[in-house]
């Protein structure tokens, strides 16, 4: 019987599902492919199978603590799958393949936030702030 766990984050509900043996089989049998893109695609496929509501766009809008909560739920329902992946040494390949993608996405998000913050600040030459000392007699 497939393990399932539902996690409520704000108004969103995420259903985490245990991955089937075929997912492990496909991951193990494709281990020889060296292109990181293939591993990233396979990881995204696993993510879609494990939690259909968690798209890349939704993931980017979550806070790190919320992502951690989802990861803990994923680990709980997929403990056997992760055990196999760890035993055959694929966990490092999975993590190493996802790091560049996640760093690039976080970099884009941070750049967007920085640009938005910078445009909302008053110009550096704005004289509306500071003192207005004048000579007195």
Task: Quote the DSSP letter at residue 121.
Answer: S
Domain membership of residue 129 (yes or no) is: no
Domain membership of residue 122 (yes or no) is: no
The rounded Cα 67 to chain-centroid distance in angstroms is 6
pLDDT at 84: 76
**What HEC string does 26-63 produce?**
HHHHCCCCCCHHHHHHHHHHHHHHHCCCCCHHHHHHCC
How high does pLDDT run on average in the chain? 74
pLDDT at 114: 60
Name the residue among 98, 77, 87 with its Cα closest to residue 16.
Answer: 77
Task: Quote the DSSP letter at residue 135.
Answer: -
Domain membership of residue 40 (yes or no) is: yes
pLDDT at 93: 67
pLDDT at 60: 86
pLDDT at 122: 57
Q: What percent of the chain has pLDDT over 90?
A: 18
pLDDT at 5: 95
Domain membership of residue 30 (yes or no) is: no
Domain membership of residue 93 (yes or no) is: yes
* Regions of the chain short of the pLDDT cut 50: 35
Domain that holds residue 76: 4-24+35-115
Domain count, the chain: 1
């Amino acid at each position: 019987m497939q393990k399932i766990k539902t996690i409520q984050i704000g108004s969103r509900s995420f259903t985490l599902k245990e991955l089937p043996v075929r997912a492990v089989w496909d991951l193990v049998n494709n281990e020889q492919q060296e292109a990181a893109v293939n591993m990233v695609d396979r990881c995204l496929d696993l993510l879609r199978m494990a939690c259909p509501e968690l798209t890349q766009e939704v993931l980017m809008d979550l806070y790190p603590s919320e992502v951690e909560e989802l990861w803990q739920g994923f680990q709980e329902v997929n403990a056997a799958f992760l055990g196999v992946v760890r035993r055959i040494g694929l966990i490092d390949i999975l993590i190493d393949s996802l790091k560049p993608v996640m760093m690039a996405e976080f970099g884009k998000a941070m750049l967007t936030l920085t640009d938005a913050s910078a445009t909302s600040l008053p110009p550096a030459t704005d004289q509306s702030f500071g003192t207005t000392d004048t000579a007195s007699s």
